[in-house]
Amino acid sequence: MLTGAGVSAESGVPTFREAQTGLWEQYDPMDLATPEAFARDPELVWRWYRWRRDLVAGAEPNAGHRALAELQSLVPRLTLVTQNVDGMHQRAGSSDVIEFHGNLFSNRCSAEARIVNAADDDDGVPSCPDCGGYLRPGVVWFGEAIPEEALHASFAAAADCDVFLSVGTSSLVYPAAGLADVAREAGAVTIEVNPSPTSQSESYTASLRGNSGMVLPQLVESLAH
């Protein structure tokens, strides 16, 4: 299963570009979400990400998130891959979530490229407690590769699934968009859940039109009875 920004949008979490509002509308995301931007002005990047963290922290998982957590208890195996960085799936109760683009609330050492369990003091640029290098948000920026472990686990699951769900994603961004192709080639039933058609809609076994917060609870209820 692959989820995208549309799932969390129903919780009021703005998409990446929708977050360019208010004080931040003068900035292009490329000025705030690249390694080059962080090297140029790490304090500016941190101010934006703290603002995004506050936005997400004020939101709650919606019916779609909760339905997927329930679905995990109804099937023998469910691999949930998300392009979202907001941690909403985990807050709703899903476990073993593969985060393709990292997590907004984790911190990574920019020198050692590893996740660091260190608190952010909400002021300035935090430092790694081990090496003293700058900490950065634990997300995948433009120009960076998807973590190899997440990439391998996602495509392995897609190649070994019976049913593949694509929920709330445009199916435009690769490599995530390629998961449906892998599942389809392996003989899986592929289902798209999205309010509007996407460029891949015709290649899915079925397309369910509607928001995930409406469609997914109905789907789970049908499986539970």
Is-contact 185 178, C-beta < 8 A?
no
Q: Which of 65, 89, 101, 152 is catalytic?
A: 101
Q: CA torsion angle for 115, 90, 125, 33 (degrees, to 10)?
A: 90
Is 101 part of the annotated catalytic residue set? yes
Q: SS3 letters for the chain?
A: CEECHHHHHCCCCCCCHHHCCHHHCCCCHHHCCCHHHHHHCHHHHHHHHHHHHHHHHCCCCCHHHHHHHHHHCCCCCCCCEECCCCCHHHHHCCCCCEECCEEEEEEEECCCCCEECCCCCCCCCCECCCCCCEEEEEECCCCCCCCHHHHHHHHHHHCCCCEEEEECCCCCCCCCCHHHHHHHHCCCEEEEEECCCCCCHHHCCEEEECCHHHHHHHHHHHHHC
- Catalogue the active-site residues: 101
